[in-house]
Amino acid sequence: MALLTEPLGGTIALEGARKVRGNLTQARIRWMILAMVLGFGLVGGRLVQLGMVVPDHSIEGQTRDVITATRPPILDRNGLEMAVDIRVPSLFAEPRRIIDVEEAVRDLRTVLPDLKEDWLRDRLTGDKGFVWVQRELTPAIQERVMRLGIPGVDFITESKRFYPAMSEASHILGSTNIDNQGIAGIERHMDSENVALLQDLGLARGNALAPVELSVDMRVQHVMHEQLSDAMTRYQAIAAAGVMMDVHTGEIVAMASLPDFNPNEPATALVKDTFNRVTSGIFEPGSTFKTVTVAGALDSGAVSLTDQFDARFGIRFGRFTIGDFHGKHRILSLPEVFKYSSNIGTIRIMQAMGKDNFREFLTRMGFDERVPFELPEMRLPAVPETLSEVGAATVSFGHGLSVSPLHLVTAYAAFSNGGNYVPPTLYKRDATEAQQLYRRVVSPQTSEAIRYLMRLNALEGSGSQMNKAAAGYRAGGKTGTAEKVVDGRYSSNKVTNFFASAFPLDNPRYAMVIMVDEPKAENPQSGTTAGWNAGAITGRIVQRVAPMLGIAPDFSEAIDLNLVPPALR
């Protein structure tokens, strides 16, 4: 209570009790409000502070999701896994949380003695939020490291690619790097399609990705790989390769190239000579190319199956004379030219067609450019832009140009499926999809004639070795022996051999090209020409895979007789 006195006998003003209490309440309320504001300000400030902290989700510049992203399994056409993801623990450290670096280094090296002490100490010192120590370890090592109980050292589960088929389909699959990104083969192609996008979005983690189905049949692939490995030792060759294609859909059923690598150990892919000879190797196709010349000439109408060609003397081009390897020195019919693989006859057939038309036909068959195909490992073919007289002559029997075995197999598929060029693929493709991609290159009649010639060659010509093994499966094809260029000259003892074939010829389903590089004779009785090695391999492969592909043998002669065109009956 306040008492105010005035000296001049003023009035006394007394504040009432209510007013006094009122004032006091006002003051208290103010203090309360202040306390509340301070309290909430403190909480709000802390919230802002927490919101400012950026959580470190990156691992050496990449987000954790990308590192731990999975890839879809790759299956063959029957659903057998060709590539799967396995989950492996990877050891990382957070240096800013390590208390005693020396102790951590010492303890870690008891479990991982391979790590260099200085490197590890350097790695664990500093203020980084994340460093890898060692990736892709085993669960057993993870257990032992966890028992050490070092603070600031932990594991993260990564996906690692594993290839159950080991090296059998290495060139098809390619491989991945430690970050699970495709670096070669179909793995790389998949990344360019959509997997990389998924991984970037972080959606690939934990979600089962739809498996990728390839056109490859692992059983056929195994047989081809095994036969080629067998050929490497049997003929002491420096390389061998093979590819098989479904002639109606363009699906690649098998593709192998030796020497190969083990995709589970990506370092083996860096060894010299392990490149894929089917797609990125280009070779002179030799006599296998005569099929192309004959098909082009027959299709243009310049020659017919009943025509005769003079093969008595070599053909002179200025200083050069081109002769036959096993000359018959007589007049040959067109089927005989094919059967005896006469260079002279083939040149005459090409000349009847005209070299410009011939060159145009090569373009139509796609020999000028890369085959449209999924694998990134492709090489451009080398075909002369314009052909001189002598150039056209050599090209007609497969010298003076270089194409890949994949080019050859696509051409043979087109010749045997009724004349439609269909681009090859490694993904599953059904007949209706394939038919939309068809491009007619030769007439059905030409296709029939070529099928007859290929079968004739198996029965009476250079394909007889092949036919011995594959009897009953109506296989046929054309051999090719190309001399290799050594020091700028053709060498007679270093050859590349081809056998391009199709089976069963009464109703073609598969085309195949087998290549053997620098083979030697298997025994003194055999030779080094293509029939002895590439042909024999083809026969053995057909014999093994035909039953798997649902082709029953048939020994009736009526089938072969039906293949003979009406003009020759």
Partner 1 sequence: MIRRINIFLVLTSIAMLAGVYAVKFSIEDTARHRTELIALIDSQEGELSILKADEAVLSQPGHIEPIIKRHEVALAMTPVRQEQFGAFEALPMRPAKPNTEAMDSLFLSLEAGVDPIAAILELEGIE
Interface contacts to partner 1, rule CB under 8 A: 80-81, 84-89, 139, 157, 162, 164-166, 168, 218-219, 221-223, 225-226, 471-473, 543-544, 547, 552-555
Give me the least distance between CB of 329 and partner 1, in Å please: 38
Q: Closer to partner 1 at the Cβ: 558 or 561?
A: 558
**Do the beta carbons of residue 533 and residue 504 sit within 8 Å?**
no
Give me the least distance between CB of 87 and partner 1, in Å please: 4
| CA–CA dist 110, 491 (Å, integer) | 60
| CA–CA dist 524, 509 (Å, integer) | 36
Crossing angle of helices 343-353 and 355-364, in 10° steps, is 90
| CA–CA dist 121, 101 (Å, integer) | 7
Give me the least distance between CB of 236 and partner 1, in Å please: 23
Q: Closer to partner 1 at the Cβ: 517 or 560?
A: 560
Q: Is residue 102 within a helix (H) or strand (E), and if so which, with residue range?
A: helix 101-111
Q: Closer to partner 1 at the Cβ: 163 or 397?
A: 163
| CA–CA dist 7, 192 (Å, integer) | 102
Give me the least distance between CB of 552 and partner 1, in Å please: 5
Q: Closer to partner 1 at the Cβ: 495 or 551?
A: 551
Give me the least distance between CB of 561 and partner 1, in Å please: 17
**What tokens does 295 get?**
């098909």
Helices (H) and strands (E) in the chain, counts: 20, 18
Give me the least distance between CB of 261 and partner 1, in Å please: 15
Q: Closer to partner 1 at the Cβ: 39 or 553?
A: 553
Q: Is residue 141 within a helix (H) or strand (E), and if so which, with residue range?
A: helix 139-148
Q: Closer to partner 1 at the Cβ: 167 or 199?
A: 167
Interacting residues of 131 by C-beta distance below 8 A, sequence separation 6+? 60, 92, 93, 94, 95, 123, 124
Q: Closer to partner 1 at the Cβ: 450 or 546?
A: 546
Crossing angle of helices 117-124 and 101-111, in 10° steps, is 130
Helices (H), 301-384: 334-339, 343-353, 355-364
Give me the least distance between CB of 77 and partner 1, in Å please: 13
| CA–CA dist 561, 228 (Å, integer) | 33
Q: Closer to partner 1 at the Cβ: 19 or 87?
A: 87
Give me the least distance between CB of 83 and partner 1, in Å please: 9
Q: Closer to partner 1 at the Cβ: 168 or 251?
A: 168
Q: Closer to partner 1 at the Cβ: 252 or 482?
A: 252
Q: Closer to partner 1 at the Cβ: 50 or 555?
A: 555
Nearest by Cα to 395 from 362, 370, 373, 428? 362
Greatest extent of the chain over all pairs of C-alpha atoms, in Å: 160
Give me the least distance between CB of 266 and partner 1, in Å please: 17
| CA–CA dist 543, 225 (Å, integer) | 15
**Do the beta carbons of residue 242 and residue 232 sit within 8 Å?**
no
Give me the least distance between CB of 142 and partner 1, in Å please: 10
Give me the least distance between CB of 547 and partner 1, in Å please: 5
Going by DSSP bridges, is the β-strand pair 510-517/489-503 parallel, antiparallel, or unpaired?
A: antiparallel
DSSP 198-249: HHHHT-SSSS-PPPEEBS--HHHHHHHHHHHHHHHHHTT-SEEEEEEEETTT
